[in-house]
Structure formats: C-alpha cells, structure tokens
Chains A and B, each alone.
Chain A
C-alpha cells in the first residue's frame, strides 16, 4: 500500500482513459449530434435537379458538409489528405437520366480508413436523397398529367419521416428510456478493464516478496500460503472499490465539466445495491485473477506479459474493445468465455436497462465464483511449488 506511484498509476491511468474515451466517442455515439466526418458533393451536372439532390443530402445533420471540390482531381486530393471522408460525384446528364426515368449512376469516392458502418450510412443517405429527388420528379410529371400541380410539393411538405429512439428496459413494463450516451456505454466497459489491471501492482508486490526472500521468511514463520494471499486480497479489493468509485465520479462530474455528457446512475435502492454488488464482484474476480497470475509468474516481466496480455485478450473477447453485437456471429458465443463480458452484461443490465438486484445476481455469482476459483488455483499451485 506504500507504493504511491503504483497506486497513483492504478487510479490516474484509468481516469485519463475514461475521460479521453468518453469525450472521443461522445460524438460518434450520440444520436443528437452530428459526426465530425466530412463530405462534399462534386456536381458535374450543375442542373436544378442535381442541386436539389445536393440540398437534400445537406439536410441530414449526421455528416458535416464541406465546400464542393473544383473537380475530381481536387476531390481525390482532399480525400487522400484526410480533409474529407466522402465525395459524392453527381455525373453529367444526371437530370436528363432522371427525366428519362433511367437509373442514374452516382459515384462515391471514399477514404478507405473510414469504418464500414459509417461508409454504408453515408451511401444509404445518398441513395435515399436520390430516390426523393426522383420521386419529386415523378410526382411533378404525374401532377402535370393529372392537372394537380400540388402533387409536386407533396415530398416537400411531408419531409423525411421522424424516428424516435426509445431504449428497452428490463422491467417489461414499457417504460420509455432515453437512449444511452457514450459515457453511459463506455464507463462500465473501461471501468471493468481498469479494475482487472490490479494484476500489475499485485504481481509486483508478490514477485518482489519472492525474489527478496520475504515469502521464504514468512513460510519459516509458519505463515501459510493461503494467509499470504488473503493478506493481499483484502487490501487490493479495497483499492479496487476505491478505483470504481473514482471512475464513476469522473463519469458523473468530470466528464461533463470537460464538455461530455454526465454519467447517469440508476435510481432506487435496488439498482444502487446491484451496482455496488457488481463492483464488488468484479473486484473479487480481478484480485483473484491477479493473485493467480502473480503466483504462476516467475518474474515481473512474466507477470506483466501474462497479466497485461491476458487482460487485453479478455477485454477483446469480452466485448470491452469491440462490442459483442459488432462481432461476427460465429465469434459472439466466445465472448461468454471472458469474465469481462459477464461483468459488462451485469453493468448494462443495471445502468442501461434499468435492471435491479435480481438482474445482477447471476452475474455477481459468476464473477465471485471465477475470483474464488482463481484464488484456490493460486493457493494450490503455490502449495505445490513449495512442496
């Protein structure tokens, strides 16, 4: 506990991590704000119809519109330079093709580094805008033939349909929940990830004891290996819980001060109790795992590699870095192997789906079992090594 630098790292690093990730992902995950990804329209047709398409596309507030390029060479240069992510090229004769009821071919220049989901999102918006332009043209012609000029303005009056997002809770009662912010989604994931990094200070202490001969001395004083481990379990569990409180406080108060959205804690005693139990269970799992790694590693280097890489693998499998639903279907069942996935599911039940104690208990039980099994394995391995 006197290793102030190690403890500070245990608190400061995850705090910075949560702050940066919450702010960095705030825009991309928020339904209320645009995405900083920019696009431009290269209108080679320069007709009233193509200008309408340009305007239609500009009405969507998801992507940021930039000044039109002077030509295709300029468009490609700006995409290559990373200035904009997409350029929609409206070909010459676009209006003529629409007028002739022919399907126009629009080209879409894109930065290959942009994620596929965003790419597809922009492409679908462009398609929708094109269809609206084409529909306007069809209605206009129909209005002319049926002597009903107001048909032309139908699409203008109706506008794009509005879809209101509602998150689905666990209560089954149809309570309308606001979609979660990025902070709400990120803090639990990075909190779990950070808590498992208790493996680094525990290993350092444990291996230091072994290398200095302190453990040997304790054994000659008839101190059992289990007692030695228990002596580390309790204080580091406390550190872990403090870590959780600090992380939540950062999400609740510091992130909004830095311009992000505040973490919203669930209301009600049951939900708060569930949250605390989950944090305790993650602590038991993380400290148990850390003691297991510390007891099998022979050097600090080994512990860092085993513990650090093990955490990253657990985080990658467990949906911390890549959400489970984004993974290919064949990979999704594998997430169940990671205790970080169990913990994340528990936190999502409570913080996003507004579940209570009964929803968290199965996850709590699984995490505690994992932690105790890891501790037991550490004791047995330590005993075998001594014998």
Chain B
C-alpha cells in the first residue's frame, strides 16, 4: 500500500500551502484516480511521489517503508508519464526507448527486454524506426507511455495521459492502463476527463486547495452526493410555476429550458411531472438518481473557474 500521511508542502514561504495535510491510502494493484481543478495540488502530489520534491511535513510510505528508503531498494519501480511529450523528437522511437532504459542503469539484457516489452505494450513496433517528432498525437502519447514502462515499474504515475488524442487512441490508452494494472501493478491516474476516470478507476480522490475533499471507491464517492432530478423542457418554465416551485423547493434552479432539483426524494418526482403537464409544458428529458462523478466534482469544487 502507498500511504500518504498528512502531507504538507509549500513552494515558497510567502505562498499558500500547495498541499495542506493530504492523507490517502492507495491500494497496490489498481488504478487510483486523482481529480482536482487546475492548481489543486495534483502535480505537487505526483512530484512528491515521483521523488522530484522532498516532503516538508508528513510522509509517504510504500509497503510500510519511507518512500526514499523504498526507492533506494527499487530505483526504477516508480515511473512518471508526464502530460508533455517528454522525449527527444530528433531520436527514433526505438532510440528514445533505448536511451531512457539506458539511463536507468539496468543490465543490457534486461534493458533490451524491457524496451521490447514496452514497445509491444504500446503497439509501436511498426514505427520503431521513425523519428518521434514525426509521429501523430496518438502515437506520441503511446511512446510517452512506453518510455514510462522501460524500467518495468511497479507504480505508474500518469498525468493527463490522453490529452489531445482521437477517440481510438484514447480507447487504446485506457485499455493499456487497465492491462498494466491487471498485472498487479499500481496506477495513479490524473485526468480532467471524468468519464475516463469513471471508466478505469476503482478508487478516486478529489482534491482542491491542497486538501482532500473526498476519497474512496468510485461508488462511495458518487453515493456521497444526494439524488437529484434534472428536467429538460421543450420551453422555459412558466413564471407562475417557477415562483411556486422556488417557494416550495429553495434549492431549485431554472436555466433556460433546464430545471434542477438537488436532493429531491424519489416520491417527489411524480407530482412535479403532473404539475408540468397541468401547466401545458412538455418534458423532453428526465434524469433522476445519484450524481455522476462530474456532478460530484463540480459540487465539491464549487463550480468556480480556477485559471
């Protein structure tokens, strides 16, 4: 288990804390989703896990050992796949893999095996001799991932791994991440695409302003939000009915043709539809139930713009 315990980090004395007492338990052998708006502290947390930054307060342990001790024994066991294309565009795909495997000081045979496995894993054999700078966006993403695998890591830190790729490449990347985790290895997955996180992660944490807002299994996090009703009407809600509903349901919001009732009990649904029919307003779409991850995320992070 990767245990992050009351981790605090501040870049400069005058700046607010980038991480303010973050505690998380990440089980080995699964995909853990790390969500948060821009500036929430995700990159800082990943940098601490990758060893790029040293913890100032609190700590990180892996299998009960402090991160630095564990990494000294397993130097290639944590790999970071950054959001940027972190390789040499002038080198070919094979040369990039060989270079990044080479700098890790692995024995030659293991280096070659790891490169071959990484290339096969990301299906890059057909472009092994092509310069990385000439690859399409999807192939670059796959090379970026493959380079992260050259050290045969136990823990993979993926920072927005599907940004800017077409749906096919995205599907490939998600399947690849699942395959990696299926072999008993751990993935920490950050993304702004909530549907991706819902598709691949068993556990998630949402952080903002350096604090963990919620963490747990995906089902638990979604259950944490009360059921809600969203009605999409063929025309805007009549003013008289809107005034009546606002008086009865203070949390209700109406925007254009859409009406939201957060925290509505299931027995309140039918009377509302009856009242709409009586007012002569047809309903185009009804959505009721537990919120999806995006709704939970938006509710917890208060919808506000961060950049």
Contact = CB atoms under 8 A, between A and B. Distances in A.
Given A2-B90, A212-B87, A387-B54, A217 B78 contact: no
Contacts of A223: 103-104
B84 A212 contact: yes
Interface residues of B, number: 26
B249 interface: no
Contacts of A2: 88, 90-91, 131
Contacts of B75: 222
A334 to B, nearest CB: 38
A238 interface: no
B76 interface: yes
Q: Which of B75, B85, B86, B88 has the most CB of A within 10 A?
A: B86
B21 interface: no
Interface in B219-258: none
Given A2-B91, A220-B51, A220-B52, A213 B84 contact: yes
A218 interface: yes
Given A219-B52, A220-B50, A386-B52, A3 B100 contact: no
A216 interface: yes
Given A218-B103, A220-B80, A212 B86 contact: yes
Contact of A220 (B78, B83, B91): B78
A221 interface: yes
Contacts of B131: 2
A214 interface: yes
- Which residue, of A1, A3, A211, A213, has the highest number of chain B Cβ atoms within 10 A? A213
A266 B98 CA distance: 45
Contacts, number: 57
Main secondary structure of the interface of B (DSSP, over half): loop
Contact of A217 (B71, B86, B90): B86
B155 to A, nearest CB: 11
A339 B164 CA distance: 48
B129 to A, nearest CB: 14
A19 to B, nearest CB: 29
A80 B178 CA distance: 82
Nearest to B159: A213
Contacts of B79: 220-221
B82 interface: yes
A217 B100 contact: yes
B151 interface: yes
Interface string A365-387: 00000000000000000000011
Contacts of B147: 217
B90 A213 contact: no
A88 to B, nearest CB: 63
Interface string A208-239: 00011110111111110001000000000000
A3 B90 contact: yes
A5 to B, nearest CB: 11
Contacts of B90: 1-3
A214 B87 contact: yes
B103 A221 contact: yes
Contacts of B84: 211-213
A225 to B, nearest CB: 12
Nearest to A228: B103
A214 B140 CA distance: 14
| Residue with the greatest number of chain B CB neighbours at <10 A, chosen from A213, A217, A218 | A217
A2 B71 CA distance: 34
A56 B103 CA distance: 76
Interface in A176-233: 211-214, 216-223, 227
Contacts of A214: 86-88
B83 to A, nearest CB: 7
B48 to A, nearest CB: 11
Contacts of B54: 387
A216 B80 contact: yes
A217 B151 contact: no
Contacts of A3: 90
B10 to A, nearest CB: 13
Contact of B104 (A212, A216, A221, A386): A221
Interface in B56-98: 71, 75-76, 78-80, 82-88, 90-91
Contacts of A387: 54
Contacts of B91: 2
A387 B82 CA distance: 19
A219 B79 CA distance: 10
Interface string A1-31: 1110000000000000000000000000000
A3 B131 CA distance: 12
B302 to A, nearest CB: 30
Contacts of B100: 217-218, 221
Contacts of B151: 221
Nearest to B103: A223
A218 B148 CA distance: 10
Contacts of B80: 216-217, 220
Which 4 A-B residue pairings sit nearest by Cβ, starting from the closest? A2-B90, A213-B86, A213-B82, A213-B84
Interface of B: 50-52, 54, 71, 75-76, 78-80, 82-88, 90-91, 100, 103-104, 131, 147-148, 151
Given A213-B82, A216-B82, 12 more contacts: A2-B90, A2-B91, A2-B131, A212-B84, A213-B86, A214-B88, A216-B50, A216-B86, A217-B82, A217-B87, A221-B79, A222-B104
